[in-house]
Amino acid sequence: MVKPAGKQSCGRLVFFSFLALLAVGLVADFLWASSHRFSSSMISLPSSVTTVVGKLPPSSNEKDTKKKKNDNARERKLSATFQDLPAPQLHWEKMSPSPVPRLDGAAIQIRNFLYVFAGYGNINLVHSHVDVYNFLDNTWGGRFDMPKEMAHSHLGMVTDGRYIYIVTGQYGPQCRGPTAKTFVLDTDTNTWRDFVPLPVPRYAPATQLWRGRLHVMGGSKENRHTPGLEHWSIAVKDGKALEKEWRSEIPIPRGGPHRACVVVDDKLFVLGGQEGDFMAKPGSPIFKCSRRLEVVFSDVYMLDEEMKWKVMPPMPKPDSHIEFAWKVVNNSIVIVGGTTEKHPETKKMVLVGEIFQFNLNTMKWYVIGKLPYRVKTTLVGYWNGNLYFTSGQRDKGPDDPAPRKVIAEMWRTKLILYP
Ligand SMILES: *[C@@H]1O[C@H](CO)[C@@H](O)[C@H](O)[C@H]1NC(C)=O
């Protein structure tokens, strides 16, 4: 049996962090009162105290009945519209769905092929194979297996056009530990090779090839929640490491998982992301996921030849779960869906239903269209003027932006950019 590296020590770390968190969590839960219980199926513990205490409901000196009425009215309004931005309606065409539904999968486009990797089918089931979509005839096919020891979600992934580098990630379903194991796929032969493991495992680190080096930064640490700031790189060529070890690079200004990492015109950008994530419930034999409140951000940073991070114009709203939800088209970064800041009252996760464009000619952001629904961890491709997305987890409906169904659907629309 394959065991993810560092699972033992990771388990202990998670356990002790949780004793502390649980203690404060219980106090917070008492203060919070039972009316604000979370209802999503993935949520089973009180949220972490730092976020919740800062946002306690108004104190009880208001009249109870009046307050309840106001709350209901406000809640209805908020849940319908919270953080949706005005955006043009687009014509969406439904294509053939992926062979399996996927959440937190990964995707790489090479020419007319979209390679779609791994992901959760549901919270208790993870995929260990690749499906391939062909934009030429709009069909799925060419399924092949991943190495048994490769992570199943929260992967870092990037391609040079032939070789795909697959770095670290979560091994197994629910909220299991990460592995540092790293692989290379040769897409000419569909063969896999081992690669130099990352110094320590990470969840969903920002990953890119830049100036002949594979760069990996940020992500969550071994407990799945604590943001990592570390940044490593290693020289690579044709799917092989040219060095024995990863080297430390300038840390990322803000850590955490689920951001887009893009190289355009010799500059490296990291966009959006979050600090914090679901964690394994202490003592749970299945590493059951429990909610920890995350902070989603709109920050955009850029690294150029000076090797200093520069702050770029922020995204139109905080956006996370977008690591494979982007394409570069005509010197613009296009980002599809994601998650934004949690609902201010229910604390539920809020999905994003817009497409964003960051025009690198003008350094301006635009909201360029509405998706068929709000959806996170989309896997995005671009072919012949059309923007495609597949997979992810969609909202409960137009009036409820909280996550519900894991999807296999594939959609496309004509991409219209601001010049
Ligand atoms: C990209 O630029 C080319 C050349 O100017 C243009 O023909 C094409 O329509 C542009 N694509 C998009 C999506 O705007």
Do residues 213 and 234 make contact, with C-beta atoms less than 8 angstroms apart? yes
3-state secondary structure of 238: coil
Q: What is residue 83's predicted lDDT score, i.e. its pLDDT?
A: 82
H/E element, 30 = helix 7-32
Residue 115: inside a domain: yes
Nearest atom, ligand 1, residue 417 CA: 14
3-state secondary structure of 264: strand
For residue 323, give every residue at least 6 positions away whose Cβ sits within 8 Å of its Cβ, in sequence order, or none: 106, 156, 204, 206, 207, 258, 259, 260, 261, 377
Q: How many residues does the chain have?
A: 419
Q: Check pocket membership of 328 for ligand 1, CB cut-off 6 A.
A: no
Residue 139: inside a domain: yes
Residue 42: inside a domain: no
Q: Ligand 1 centroid to 123 CA: how many Å? A: 40
| Closest by Cα among 243, 218, 203 to 309 | 218
Nearest atom, ligand 1, residue 419 CA: 14
Single-letter residue type at 148: K
Q: Which two tokens stand for residue 414?
A: 């004509």
Nearest atom, ligand 1, residue 330 CA: 1
Q: Which two tokens stand for residue 101?
A: 């539904």
Measured CA to CA, the distance from residue 52 to residue 42 in angstroms comes to 18
Residue 149: inside a domain: yes
Q: Check pocket membership of 355 for ligand 1, CB cut-off 6 A.
A: no
We report the CATH number of the domain holding residue 211 as: 2.120.10.80
Nearest CA, atom 6, ligand 1 = 330
* pLDDT < 70 stretches in the chain: 1-82
pTM above 0.95, yes or no: no
Residue 386: inside a domain: yes
Do residues 103 and 144 make contact, with C-beta atoms less than 8 angstroms apart? no
Place of tokens 């996927």: 102
Q: Ligand 1 centroid to 415 CA: how many Å? A: 9
Q: Ligand 1 centroid to 325 CA: how many Å? A: 20
Nearest atom, ligand 1, residue 329 CA: 13
Q: Check pocket membership of 417 for ligand 1, CB cut-off 6 A.
A: yes
Measured CA to CA, the distance from residue 401 to residue 313 in angstroms comes to 26
Measured CA to CA, the distance from residue 326 to residue 389 in angstroms comes to 10
Q: Check pocket membership of 362 for ligand 1, CB cut-off 6 A.
A: no
Q: Check pocket membership of 329 for ligand 1, CB cut-off 6 A.
A: yes
Q: What is residue 81's predicted lDDT score, i.e. its pLDDT?
A: 54
Nearest CA, atom 14, ligand 1 = 417
Q: Ligand 1 centroid to 330 CA: how many Å? A: 6
3-state secondary structure of 76: helix
Question: CA–CA distance from 184 to each of 166, 168, 191, 192, 239 (Å)?
Answer: 6, 12, 8, 6, 6
Residue 7: inside a domain: no
Domain carrying residue 200? 93-414
Residue 5: inside a domain: no
Radius of gyration of the chain from its Cα atoms, rounded to whole angstroms: 21
3-state secondary structure of 295: strand
Q: Ligand 1 centroid to 417 CA: how many Å? A: 8
Residue 19: inside a domain: no
**What total of structural domains would you count in the chain?**
1
Nearest CA, atom 2, ligand 1 = 330
Nearest atom, ligand 1, residue 385 CA: 13
Q: Check pocket membership of 330 for ligand 1, CB cut-off 6 A.
A: yes
HEC-encoded secondary structure of 303-371: ECCCCCEEEECCCCCCCECCCCCEEEECCEEEEEEEEECCCCCCCCCEEEEEEEEEECCCCEEEEEEEC
